[in-house]
Amino acid sequence: MAKLFELRSVTKIFRGGTLAVDDVSFSVEAEAPGIIAIAGESGSGKSTLGLLVMGFLEPTEGEVIYNGKNLKDLSREEQFALRKEVQAVFQDPFAAYNPFYKVDHILDVPIKRFKLANSKDEARGMVEEAMERVGLRPNEILGRFPHQLSGGQRQRLVVARALLLQPKLLIADEPVSMVDASLRATILKSLNRLNREFGIPILYITHDLTTAYHISDYIIILYKGSIMEAGDVETVIKNPQHPYTQLLIDSIPWPDLGHKWGQQELIIPDGADPEIKGCKFAPRCPHVKQVCWDSPPPLYKVDGARVASCHLYEGHQVMPKEQVGELFAPLTEAVAA
C-alpha cells in the first residue's frame, strides 16, 4: 500500500538542547483514512510531531516523507501543493484569526490562493456549503470580526475551512481543549464527518484521552518524545499493556461514578532528570528492571492490534520501524466492508 506520509527515525532537538522527538517512526497509509490520535502530556513531543508533519519544522535527524518524497527535496510547485494538501486546526480558536480582518478572511484567502473557485459566486457558494456542513449559519457569522463570535463558532469555522480545502491530511492539534464542553461534541462530530464522509485521514493531537478515545480509531502514546504504546484505540485504552499507559489511564477522571481513578500507586522520582540511557519511563515505572536502565526497549508486538515499547514483553516479536504504519491499516477492510 502506498504511504501518504511517513516519519523515518525522526529526531528533533531544539536549540538549547531540548529533545522533543526521539527516533519516532510511523506512517499513514494512503488507502486507510482513519483518525489517529497522538496522545501525550506536555513535553511529550506531540505538538512538535504535528509541526514536523506540516513541514514547519525540520527534523534534526531522520526524514519526513510525503507521497514518497522527502520534504526537503520538494520543488516550489510541490511545496505549494503540500500547503494545500496538508491542513491544520489549532488549539486556540481566537489566535487562529488575524484580529485585523473579518473572519471571512480565513476562507477567502485560501480560495483565492489555491484557485478553488472560478468566480465570486462560486466561491461564496463553496463557503456557505462548508459552513452549513459544520452547523454554522453564514448570515450570522460572515462579515464579523473574530472577537464578535464565540469560541465554539470560531473553531467550527476553522473546521469548515478544512472541509472547504479538502486536504489529503488534516492535523488537529488540541482542537477542542479550549472549547466549552457542550460544544466539543459538535466540533468532534464535524471532524468525524470530514474523515468518514470525505475520507480525509486526521492526526488528532491531544492530552485528553477521553476525547481521543471518543473520536479516534488508533492511538499513539508518547512520553518524552518516544512512542510508548500504539495501536487500536479500544485495545489500548481498555487494556493498556505499557506501564505508562496504565498509569495514564488510571489517572483519567472519567465522568463516571462507577469508574474511580487512582487505583495505582504513583511513583514520584526525586529531583532532576538524569541522563537516561534506557527506557525513559524507568524512574517512574513500578515494574522497572536493570535492563530498563541500560537500553531503550524496541516496539514489541504485544498482540495483533498493538505494540508497546517495554522490556516486560521481551520475547515477543519486534515491530520493524517501517511497518508501524500497518498498525493503522485494518480500518480499510472495515470501511470497504
Among candidate residues 43, 58, 81, 41, the one with its CA nearest the CA of residue 169: 81
**CA dist., res. 162 & res. 145, Å (int):** 20
Query: Is 206 in contact with 177 (CB distance < 8 Å)?
Result: yes
For residue 27, the minimal CB distance to other proteins (Å) is: 22
3-state secondary structure 27-75: EEECCCCCEEEEECCCCCCHHHHHHHHHCCCCCCEEEEEECCEEHHHCC
Q: How far is the CB of 207 from other proteins (least distance, A)?
A: 6
Are 213 and 221 within 8 A, CB to CB? no
Name every residue whose Cβ is closer than 8 Å to that of residue 295 and which is 6 or more positions away in sequence. Answer: 277, 278
| CB of residue 2 to other proteins, shortest distance in Å | 24
Q: How far is the CB of 54 from other proteins (least distance, A)?
A: 7
Cβ–Cβ < 8 Å for 227, 221: yes
To other proteins, the closest distance from the beta carbon of 91 in angstroms equals: 8
End-to-end C-alpha distance for the chain, whole angstroms: 18
Residue type, 132: E
Strand pairing category for 3-13 and 61-66 = antiparallel
Which of residues 2 and 268 has its CB atom nearest to other proteins in the complex?
A: 268
Which of 97, 300 has the CB closer to other proteins? 97
- 26 versus 244: smaller Cβ distance to other proteins: 244
Cβ proximity to other proteins, 32 vs 171, nearer residue? 171
Nearer residue to other proteins within complex by CB, 26 or 97: 97
Q: Between 67 and 210, name the residue whose CB sits nearer to other proteins.
A: 210
- Work out how close the CB of 102 gets to other proteins at its nearest, in angstroms, rounded to a whole number: 12
Q: d(Cα 167, Cα 116) in Å, to the nearest integer?
A: 12
Residues within the interface to other proteins (CB under 8 A): 41-42, 54, 56, 80, 83-84, 86-88, 90-92, 95-101, 106, 109-110, 113-114, 135, 150-153, 180-189, 192, 207, 209-211, 213-215, 234, 237-238, 247-248, 251-257, 259-262, 266, 268, 270
